[in-house]
Structure 1
Amino acid sequence: MHTINRKCLNHRRIENLFKNTTVFFAIFVFCLLAMILISLMIGSQEAISRFNFSFFFINDWDPVKDNYGALVPIIGTLISSFLALFLAVPVSFGIATFLTELAPKCVKKPIGIAIEMLAAIPSIIYGMWGLFVFVPLFQEYIQPTLIDLLSPLPFVGILFSGAPFGIGLFSAGLVLAIMIIPFIASMMRDMFSSVPPMLKESAYGLGATVWEVVWQVVLPYTKSGLIGSVMLGLGRALGETMAVTFVIGNAFTLPESIFSPSVSIASAISNEFNESAGLQKSALMELGLILFFITTIVLVISRFLISRITKQRGKSK
């Protein structure tokens, strides 16, 4: 009897230790997040007190005159990230659909390995490839053709105007798209594979085509997971540094088209932080704080969309 009580006591101690450890790790995540936020706020205090809300609307970045504004980096970050998302999501959807619905078994594994290898390539390699391989080809062949064909169009043509520099927002968006395709495609593939085979077989049995099965069975079943994968890709694109720094142009000027050189928040911090001091360093810290809030907003929106889809699915049942 004494031995049994002793074993029970040991089990309780182990259970309490395990419970307290997991609680500590959970609290540690929030503490780490709070420490990052507080350090950014303290570091950017000088810029906040100097520029207030005008920091968001100033398009000038002049270290000589100590005049700084976040408008150009914010616009560059958002345009390049959403360009990447616009290019990456359809390609990722096609890859995931092919792997789960159309590809023969002998092809699925090699393509899956290739996607994983793309995800494992360091971002600086993408940046170097973009600068030394893609940008010269884009500048000499692709961009002039796009400008000649699309710039005369009304309304839309302004997006494709300008000189063929090669570097710019579109180049940054394309490199980012190549970077986030493996992440989005892998998650979409896993979501599509989680659909019960009985649902798809029933649709095929009723005469549905592959497209109808994907559109009417697979997508409704995996909507919440798809939104999560897209938002994960967007979060990766928003915070990417080295790949964007190589190809975006790093010019603190408002872009006139998607081919214009510009700068992102991450590339601005990467280029100037080591040599910065005083107000310039504080302004860069405020840029980091802005990027922190942008990614937080993206996360909140994704959770809101997922919760709405989950509620609608529960009501439909």
Structure 2
Amino acid sequence: MTVPQPHPHPEHGKNGHDDRDRNHDHNHKQVITAGNERRIRFVFFFTAGYALIQAIGGWLSGSLALIADSGHMISDAAALLLALVAYRIARKPADSTRTYGFHRVRVLAALANGVTLLLLVVWIILEAIGRMHTPTEILAGPMLIVAVIGLVINLVGAWVLWSGNKEDGNLRGALLHIIGDLLGSVGAVAAAVGIMFTGWTILDPILSVLVALLIIRSAWVLVKDSVHVLLQVVPRGMDTRVVENGLTQLPEIEEAGHFHAWILADETTIATVHVSPARGVDPLSLPPLVSSWLRERYAIDHVTVQIDPPGQLEHEHR
């Protein structure tokens, strides 16, 4: 969940919030992309249907790579279903007790996706270690057929999700799951071909472990980014002291402090800050000035500016 790039801003009002905020009635409503929801629904049915086929194929052929990938796809189907539910909940409007709406539900869904991936990786590695110590017979032919079908399905699913809005953390989580499935299918195909030509059944658990290791980094990044949003960590690339010092460089501002910024969900950044006017400056002119400055340099969407008497911030910092 990176800090979005700066973008042009409209005219600002006198209260420090721009016209776009007023049009949204200050309810922080975000647009839920219908295209993203359709993409996830499509991939969900594909993933859930093939997971069942792959589980049967893995059991009949004795392949850990197929069984692991099937378990991966089953967890992905559950995660995709959770993402669809999250879209429905996030569409609910804000109310008097949940003034920011329900968009953090999407962050929770993304966190659940990442945690599920990490747990799956642990299971794959433990199962692979057991297979290395006690090799089992594997039918390479059926394994290869099922793995190739899975590879094609995952390629289609990845393309469908990749063409969506990549700023949507929920969609990004679903895409990471499908990429993990894709890597699992590649590993299963490679293992089947290798076993078919060499008879080395140990290739199956070895490649399963390699695929699991490839999934770890993406899953960890997803978990970390989601936790940062839930903990209201300052957006990546932003230093609060640098922002406050930059505000004090404006000739209209004498002091700046108590700057706080956090990500609401995905691409919306919110901030609050205290400023004191320089001598002879109209205090009412500062909110639109500060709001414009923060939007241009840090792409902050919604800014609340409090005007303090000159000297008050300096006194509080002593």
Question: TM-score over 0.5 for the alignment?
Answer: no
Higher relative contact order (CA 8 A, sep 6+): 1
Instruction: Choose between structure 1 and 2: higher helix proportion.
Output: 1
Provide TM-score, normalisation by structure 2. 0.28
Provide TM-score, normalisation by structure 1. 0.28
Instruction: Choose between structure 1 and 2: higher strand proportion.
Output: 2
